[in-house]
Structure 1
Amino acid sequence: MTTSAQDTILSARGLTKRFAGFTAVNGVDLDVRRGSIHALIGPNGAGKTTCFNLLTKFLQPSSGRITFNGRDITALQPAAIARLGVVRSFQISAVFAQMTVLENVRIALQRRRGDSFDFWRPQKVLAQFDDEAMRRVEEVGLADLAHAQAGDLSYGRKRALEIATTLALEPEMMLLDEPMAGMAQEDVTRISALIRRISANRTILMVEHNLSVVADLSDRITVLARGEVLAEGSYAEVSQHPKVIEAYIGGGHE
């Protein structure tokens, strides 16, 4: 399937990352269609995490080019692309454990609006963010836990809170790093439903090892192996691809 420049929100061409004596990502071409859920998968050592870190600018490529909405972002830093509307989550949940759910989201709102974190500012000043923060909390199904300490949440609900703080930054594109990692099935089901819900008016690129989740959620899948694109297409297409079958049987998966 080919996509027009207008349909493509994020694009990579010839994306390569070399470390000393090792090429982790080698000449990757990738197009993410606007409004889609696109998964990046592959067996152990495929280069998924490195590729993800290159796309989100936590690593600089050795060569290649990355564009977002037609703008070259190859040389930009993570904070700069976040301001453009590209925001990522991390494999390990990152919340302020001693603060409430609502306070965590409020911090993200302060950051989006360019305010300092200024925890010592008068409560009346900080409260101006509460209504919007509550809307984000409700969006991820945590309304009944808005005033609970984040550190007391279950792992799955911490991941939901992390998604709420990401949404507070109003991203046009969300990049989710193994959103189901370490979750029990009940939480997997809940977070899958959440991702589907929030994708209604956003683009999502995710690295995910849970292939049943990938099959259920993804519009398009890119399979990496040994740092290169092995196959791309729908789940039905890539799951039947002989090279994909060989790579997973031979190498296992994360």
Structure 2
Amino acid sequence: MTASLNDAAFGGGQSSPGASGGQDSRVVLSARGLRRDFGGFVAVNNVDLDVHHAKVHALIGPNGAGKTTVFNLLTKFLQPTSGTITLLDQDITKTDPAKVARMGLVRSFQISAVFPHLTILDNVRVALQRPGRLSTQFWLPMGSLNRLNERAMELIEAVGLQDARNHLAADLSYGRKRVLEIATTLALDPQVLLLDEPMAGMGHEDVHIVSDIIREVARDRAILMVEHNLKVVADLCDKVTVLQRGEILTSGDYRTVSQDERVRVAYMGTEHE
């Protein structure tokens, strides 16, 4: 686990402001009885999860708790051994990953996935090709992408990269590459956005910038994120689900889960192993 997992991380008893106030909104992504076996090893067992529209939901837990496996199951990179997954009231348990993405469930990964030798503008224009129905028209000249410029600039401005739109992605700092990745992910117009450790490897300033972007993005879509930085979780997330050994330990707002003695033991035990 990261250095943020210490007594101070649990000691504040903060109440998460989250992306939006008020009562819980509609459930857009749901799992029931989710289980995944690898031979004789149970990686995920009996996981129930509800992700709400316009909310930020964190999935946290010690290393090896099953967080990435849950992400892989939800996005259909892995097929569950048992259980059901519902997206926007449709059963996607046996649906392939590409169709799930087209339905509005989009995921980012721990490692930044941008085209380093394209400009920021071209990275976003490439990402816009599928919703713009240009992805199968590869014989068209590059100029055909000009029709995507307006939407591309909207996305670039939304993440604060407009001043660097003509810079190569390779020249960006690590944190700004992750910001560009969020822009390219938003180009797919997701209803549910899964972020896998979006703050990993970032300095304090970049963490603050990306947190603000995530908060803004969550105004009109659901976000489920795996994150080790508990200060980020406390400040940003409406709900937190804690995994341990593939099972849900507890779930609730940050104040509730941070005061749960089982959560403290799980994290402190990991630090001393």
Shared fold by TM > 0.5?
yes
Unaligned runs of 5+ in 1: none
TM-score after normalising by structure 2: 0.88
Aligned to 1:45: 64
Give distance in 2, aligned partners of 1:122 and 1:224: 49
- Whether 1:94 and 2:122 are equivalent positions in the alignment is no
The code of the aligned residue for 1:192 comes to: S
- Whether 1:225 and 2:244 are equivalent positions in the alignment is yes
C-alpha contact (below 8 Å) 2:124/2:184 kept by paired residues: yes
Describe the superposition over 1:194-228 as per-residue Cα deviations: whole angstroms up to 9, x where unpaired.
11111111110000011100001000000000000
Describe the superposition over 1:6-54 as per-residue Cα deviations: whole angstroms up to 9, x where unpaired.
7211110110010022111011011112211000000111101101111
Matches within 5 A, 1:74-153: 74-116=93-135, 121-153=140-172
Describe the superposition over 1:55-92 as per-residue Cα deviations: whole angstroms up to 9, x where unpaired.
11111111110001111001111211111111111110
Offset, 1:111 = 1.6
Matches within 5 A, 1:1-254: 7-116=26-135, 121-252=140-271
C-alpha contact (below 8 Å) 2:132/2:148 kept by paired residues: no
Q: Report sequence identity in percent.
A: 60
Offset, 1:114 = 2.8
Offset, 1:120 = 5.9
Give distance in 2, aligned partners of 1:228 and 1:186: 34
The code of the aligned residue for 2:165 comes to: A
Offset, 1:121 = 2.9
Q: Secondary structure at the match of 1:110?
A: coil
Give distance in 2, aligned partners of 1:139 and 1:120: 31
**In 2 relative to 1, CA 150–119 (structure 1 residues): closer, same or farther, beyond 3 Å?**
farther
Describe the superposition over 1:114-158 as per-residue Cα deviations: whole angstroms up to 9, x where unpaired.
322666632331111111111100100000010100111100100
Give distance in 2, aligned partners of 1:149 and 1:119: 22
User: Over aligned residues, Cα RMSD in angstroms?
Assistant: 1.6
C-alpha contact (below 8 Å) 2:35/2:83 kept by paired residues: yes
Give distance in 2, aligned partners of 1:117 and 1:197: 32
Q: Secondary structure at the match of 1:15?
A: strand
Offset, 1:167 = 0.8
Q: Secondary structure at the match of 1:103?
A: helix
TM-score after normalising by structure 1: 0.94
C-alpha contact (below 8 Å) 1:44/1:252 kept by paired residues: no
Describe the superposition over 1:156-203 as per-residue Cα deviations: whole angstroms up to 9, x where unpaired.
100010000011111111110000011111111111111111111111
Give distance in 2, aligned partners of 1:8 and 1:202: 11
- For CA contacts below 8 A with separation 6 or more, give which structure has more relative contact order: 2
Give distance in 2, aligned partners of 1:113 and 1:81: 18
**In 2 relative to 1, CA 218–50 (structure 1 residues): closer, same or farther, beyond 3 Å?**
same
